C-alpha cells in the first residue's frame, strides 16, 4: 500500500487552515474556565474564599465541589478520583475549584485570587515512603516462572544492582482543551482534544447525571497526545461540562502550559532492584527483580501500565527462571498515566541495563551477550507469561543491522583506542557503542478493548466519507485509513475523506492507543469497504452479465470480462446506476482482534496478537571533564511488516526514537521536598530539538510482511520505536565504562570500582554522566 499519498491534512497544515479545538468559532456567550489548584501535596481542605476573585471584571462564578450537579467522582474504573477536591487534598496541583469568566485571561487572573483555607498533612512523595507505609494503588503482583531460587544458587556468577528511570512529560504541542455546548432536549455536544472520545462521553454523562445518548463527543484532530490524552483529557471535558450545566452557557477550558504540567500525570517513574544469575558465557539462568513505580494519588491507568512493564522485562530474551515483583505505589503526586510504550519501556530498561552489567563483569561485548540470550527455536521461544514467540528472526535481524552499520569494526576502533591509552597523552573524550533489540507486544492489555467499528459512505458523485472510531493526533492514522479504503475501492485518495471522530457515529470505540490504531480501525474500515465493493460487484454482474469472478476496482473503474472480452465502467457511472437501482451505498465494518486471551489469576495466556521487532545501534561520545555528550550516529533496522505508508512509518520511527532519547537523557522532572513540581515550563523542562538528532541517522525496514493476518500485512509502529532509544543510554554506559578503565583518563588512574556497576540512572543528564565517570 506504500505510495506517494501525502498526509490527509498536509496542505491544510501548510496553509494554516487545519483547525484545532482552540481555533473553532466561539459561540455567543462562551465562558472560559481556569482552575484553582492546591499548593499542598497533602492537606485538609477547610474552605475557599472566592470574594476577591468574584470582584474582578468579567468573572461570572467560582464553582466548588458543593456546586456540582452530579456525583463528585470521575467515572473511571477505580472510582478513586474526585472531580474537584473536597475535604482532602491529595497533590500539589489538584483542582479545588473552577473560575468562570468572560475571557481566558480574566479567568486565570481570578483563579490566582481565590483564597484557599487548608492545613498540611504528612505527604508520601518518595517510593521508599510509600513502600514503608504499604500505600498501594493495587496490591503487589508477582510474575514467576521456573525454579528461581535453585537456579540462582547454582549460577556460576551473580550480580545485583539498583536502577532508576524518571518520569516524562507528554509535552503535546496542543495542550488540554475542551468545549461544552448545551443542546436541545437535555443534550450536550462536547468538543474534546482526546484520544478516547467514548470515555469522555461516559465520564461527562456520569458527571451530568444523564445518559450516554445525550452526550455527543467530537474530535477532528489533536496537536499531539502520546498517551496524555487517553484518560486525562476526560477531566478537562468534565470540568467544562459541569460548569456549562450549572451556568447554562457554553464553556471552554484550555489549560495554560504551566497548569497543564502541574495538573496532569506523566510517564511512571520506576525504581528497579535485581539479582541475576548467569554462566561463564553470559547466558542468563535466573532473574529476580522488584519493579516499584510511583503511580501518584489515584489509579488512572497505573494497573495496566505496570502489567505491561512486567510483560516486557524479557524484551527479546528468553528467561528460563524468573520472579518479578511489581509494587504500584500510591503517593501524593500527580496521577501518572499512559505514555507511549505504556510501561514497556520501563520493563525493557531493566533487562537491557543488566545485560550491559553482565557483559562488563565478564569482559565481553554486550552485543554477543544479547545474541546469546535472544529468543529462538523451541524450547527457547516462550515468554514468562506463557505466550509462544512464533517469530524466530531477532538474531538474524540483529546480525543484519550489525553488518550494515559496521558494528564490529566500530567496536574494534573503540578497543584499539583503549589499547593505545597506556602510552597516549590524556584525552577528555571517550566513545561508547551499543546495539539493542526491541520486542513489543501489540494489543490492548484488556482484551475487550481490541475491537473497532467503521462506516464507509459512497455519495452519488462517487466521493467517499469514512467514519471510524480512531482519533488523529498527528500520527497519520486518518491518512493510513484513506490509503486502505482507497485501495479496496480503486479510487485516488483525493476522492476520500475521513470525518471527525464522533461518538454518535461510531459508538463504544476504544482509545486510540496501544499502537493499535491502524490495526483496529484500518481493518474495520477495510471490512466496510470490502462489503461495499462486493455489493457493487453483485449488482453489476446481475445487471450486465459480466464475469463476477474477474471483477476489480482499479484506477476509478470497475474492470472485468464480458464473453471473454475486457470491459470497464467508470466508478462514477457504476455508483449512479447503483443508486438509481436503490442499492445501499454505505456499509459498516467491525473488527475484533482474534486469538488473544489472558488469565489474570494464573497470569498466563496470549495477551498480544503479534510482536513488533527492531534493533538500533547508537554511538556516543562523552567529555569526562564536563559530562557533556553527543550522539554521533544512529542506525535502525525495524520491523513494520509491509508498510501501509512508508513516509508516515519512517516519521514514527524517527520521532519515537528521539522522544525515547529525550526520556532517557535530558527530560528531567523535579519535585521539591513539598511535592511542588519545579520543572513546569519549557524554560526548565527540555525536550530534544533537531539539533540533538545526529547527522548520521539511518532507518531500514526488515523486508518481510507480518506473519499473522493483519491489515495489509503491516505491523504497528506507534510505540515500538521509542524503545530503540535504549541503545543511547547503553552506549553512554559503555562510554563511561571505557573512560573509567582508561589510563588516558585525565581524571587520574583507572577506577578500581567493579566495572560492571556503571551507576548511571535515567535521565542520563550531563551531571549524571559527570558523576558516573567519577564513581
- As annotated, the active-site residues are 719
- In whole angstroms, give the CA distance from residue 29 to residue 267: 38
- In whole angstroms, give the CA distance from residue 678 to residue 711: 45
Query: Are the beta carbons of 638 and 746 closer than 8 angstroms?
Result: no
Query: Are the beta carbons of 759 and 164 closer than 8 angstroms?
Result: no
Backbone angles phi and psi of 200, in degrees to 5: -60, -45
Query: Are the beta carbons of 496 and 464 closer than 8 angstroms?
Result: yes
- Whole-number Cα distances in Å, 329 to 225, 292, 725: 25, 7, 27
- In whole angstroms, give the CA distance from residue 269 to residue 336: 9
Backbone angles phi and psi of 368, in degrees to 5: -70, -35
Angle ∠(752,753,759) on CA atoms, nearest 5 = 145
- In whole angstroms, give the CA distance from residue 267 to residue 24: 30
Query: Are the beta carbons of 295 and 75 closer than 8 angstroms?
Result: no
Find the helix packing angle between 646-665 and 344-362, rounded to 10°. 70
- In whole angstroms, give the CA distance from residue 341 to residue 355: 21
Element (H, E) at 567: strand 565-570
- In whole angstroms, give the CA distance from residue 13 to residue 78: 39
Which grid cell is 336? 501518572
Interior/surface letters 737-751, b for 16+ CB within 10 angstroms, e for the rest: bbbbbbebbeeeeeb
C-alpha 745 chain-centroid distance: 40
Which grid cell is 563? 464473453
- In whole angstroms, give the CA distance from residue 509 to residue 541: 36
Query: Are the beta carbons of 464 and 162 closer than 8 angstroms?
Result: no
Which grid cell is 337? 498515566
- Whole-number Cα distances in Å, 432 to 138, 365, 422, 631: 40, 12, 19, 10
Query: Are the beta carbons of 590 and 524 closer than 8 angstroms?
Result: yes
Element (H, E) at 432: strand 429-442
Backbone angles phi and psi of 497, in degrees to 5: -145, 135
The conformation of residue 284, written as its DSSP 8-state character, comes to: E
Amino acid at each position: 500500500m506504500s505510495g506517494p499519498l501525502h498526509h490527509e491534512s498536509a496542505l491544510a497544515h501548510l496553509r494554516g487552515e487545519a483547525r484545532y479545538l482552540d481555533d473553532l468559532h466561539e459561540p455567543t456567550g462562551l465562558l472560559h474556565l481556569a482552575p484553582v489548584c492546591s499548593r499542598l501535596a497533602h492537606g485538609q481542605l477547610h474552605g475557599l474564599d472566592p470574594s476577591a476573585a468574584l470582584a474582578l471584571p468579567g468573572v461570572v462564578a467560582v464553582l466548588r465541589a458543593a456546586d456540582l450537579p452530579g456525583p463528585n467522582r470521575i467515572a473511571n474504573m477505580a472510582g478513586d478520583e474526585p472531580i474537584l477536591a473536597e475535604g482532602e487534598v491529595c497533590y500539589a496541583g489538584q483542582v479545588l475549584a473552577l473560575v468562570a469568566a468572560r475571557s481566558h485571561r480574566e479567568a486565570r487572573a481570578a483563579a490566582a485570587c481565590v483564597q484557599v483555607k487548608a492545613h498540611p498533612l504528612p505527604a508520601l512523595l518518595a517510593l521508599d515512603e510509600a513502600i514503608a507505609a504499604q500505600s498501594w494503588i493495587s496490591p503487589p503482583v508477582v510474575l514467576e516462572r521456573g525454579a528461581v531460587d535453585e537456579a540462582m544458587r547454582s549460577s556460576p556468577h551473580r550480580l545485583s544492582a539498583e536502577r532508576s528511570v524518571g518520569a516524562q512529560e507528554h509535552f503535546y504541542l496542543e495542550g488540554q482543551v475542551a468545549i461544552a455546548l448545551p443542546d436541545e432536549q437535555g443534550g450536550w455536544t462536547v468538543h474534546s482534544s482526546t484520544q478516547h472520545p467514548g470515555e469522555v462521553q461516559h465520564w461527562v454523562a456520569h458527571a451530568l447525571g444523564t445518559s450516554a445518548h445525550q452526550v455527543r463527543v467530537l474530535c477532528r484532530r489533536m496537536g499531539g497526545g502520546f498517551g496524555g490524552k487517553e484518560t486525562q483529557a476526560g477531566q478537562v471535558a468534565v470540568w467544562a461540562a459541569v460548569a456549562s450545566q450549572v451556568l447554562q452557557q457554553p464553556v471552554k477550558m484550555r489549560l495554560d502550559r504551566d497548569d497543564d504540567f502541574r495538573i496532569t500525570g506523566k510517564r511512571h517513574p520506576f525504581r528497579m532492584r535485581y539479582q541475576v544469575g548467569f554462566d561463564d558465557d553470559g547466558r542468563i539462568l535466573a532473574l529476580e527483580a522488584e519493579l516499584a513505580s510511583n503511580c501518584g494519588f489515584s489509579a488512572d491507568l497505573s494497573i495496566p501500565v505496570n502489567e505491561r512493564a512486567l510483560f516486557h522485562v524479557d524484551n527479546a530474551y528468553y528467561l528460563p527462571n524468573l520472579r518479578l515483583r511489581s509494587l504500584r505505589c500510591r503517593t501524593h503526586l500527580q496521577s501518572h498515566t499512559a505514555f507511549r510504550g505504556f510501561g514497556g519501556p520501563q520493563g525493557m530498561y531493566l533487562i537491557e541495563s543488566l545485560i550491559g552489567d553482565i557483559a562488563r563483569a565478564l569482559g565481553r561485548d554486550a552485543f554477543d551477550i544479547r545474541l546469546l540470550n535472544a529468543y529462538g527455536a523451541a524450547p527457547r521461544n516462550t515468554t514468562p507469561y506463557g505466550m509462544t514467540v512464533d517469530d524466530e528472526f531477532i538474531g538474524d535481524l540483529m546480525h543484519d543491522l550489525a553488518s550494515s552499520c559496521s558494528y564490529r569494526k566500530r567496536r574494534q576502533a573503540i578497543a584499539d583506542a583503549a589499547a593505545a591509552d597506556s602510552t597516549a597523552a590524556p584525552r577528555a573524550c571517550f566513545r561508547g557503542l551499543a546495539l539493542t533489540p526491541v520486542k513489543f507486544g501489540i494489543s490492548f492489555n484488556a482484551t475487550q478493548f481490541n475491537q473497532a467499528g467503521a462506516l464507509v459512505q459512497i455519495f452519488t458523485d462517487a466521493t467517499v466519507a469514512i467514519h471510524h472510531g480512531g482519533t488523529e493526533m498527528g500520527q497519520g492514522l486518518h491518512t493510513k485509513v484513506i490509503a486502505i479504503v482507497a485501495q479496496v475501492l480503486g479510487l485516488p485518495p483525493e476522492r476520500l475523506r475521513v470525518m471527525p471522530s464522533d461518538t454518535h457515529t461510531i459508538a463504544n470505540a476504544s482509545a486510540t492507543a496501544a499502537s493499535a490504531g491502524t490495526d483496529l480501525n484500518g481493518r474495520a474500515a477495510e471490512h466496510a469497504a470490502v462489503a461495499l465493493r462486493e455489493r457493487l460487484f453483485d449488482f453489476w454482474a446481475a445487471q450486465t452479465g459480466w464475469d463476477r469472478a474477474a471483477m476489480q476496482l482499479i484506477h476509478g473503474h470497475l474492470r472485468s470480462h464480458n464473453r471473454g472480452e475486457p470491459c470497464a465502467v467508470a466508478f462514477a457511472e457504476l455508483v449512479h446506476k447503483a443508486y438509481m437501482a436503490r442499492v445501499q451505498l454505505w456499509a459498516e465494518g467491525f473488527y475484533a482482534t482474534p486469538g488473544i486471551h489472558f488469565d489474570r489469576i494464573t497470569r498466563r495466556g496470549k495477551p498480544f496478537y503479534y510482536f513488533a521487532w527492531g534493533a538500533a545501534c547508537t554511538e556516543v561520545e562523552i567529555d569526562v571533564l564536563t559530562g557533556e555528550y553527543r550522539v554521533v550516529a544512529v542506525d535502525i533496522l525495524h520491523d513494520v511488516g509491509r508498510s501501509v505508508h512508508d513516509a508516515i512509518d519512517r516519521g514514527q520511527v524517527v520521532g519515537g526514537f528521539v522522544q525515547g532519547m529525550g526520556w532517557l537523557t535530558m527530560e528531567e522532572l523535579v519535585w521539591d521536598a513539598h511535592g511542588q513540581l519545579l520543572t513546569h515550563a519549557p524554560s526548565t523542562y527540555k525536550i530534544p530539538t533537531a539539533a540533538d538528532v545526529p547527522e548520521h541517522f539511518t532507518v531500514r525496514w526488515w523486508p518481510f510482511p507480518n506473519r499473522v493476518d493483519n491489515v495489509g500485512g503491516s505491523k504497528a509502529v506507534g510505540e515500538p520505536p521509542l524503545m530503540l532509544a535504549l541503545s543511547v543510554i547503553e552506549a553512554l554506559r559503555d562510554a563511561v565504562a571505557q573512560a573509567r578503565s582508561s589510563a588516558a583518563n585525565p581524571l587520574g588512574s583507572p577506577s578500581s570500582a567493579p566495572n560492571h556497576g556503571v551507576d548511571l540512572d535515567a535521565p542520563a543528564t550531563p551531571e549524571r554522566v559527570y558523576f558516573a565517570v567519577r564513581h
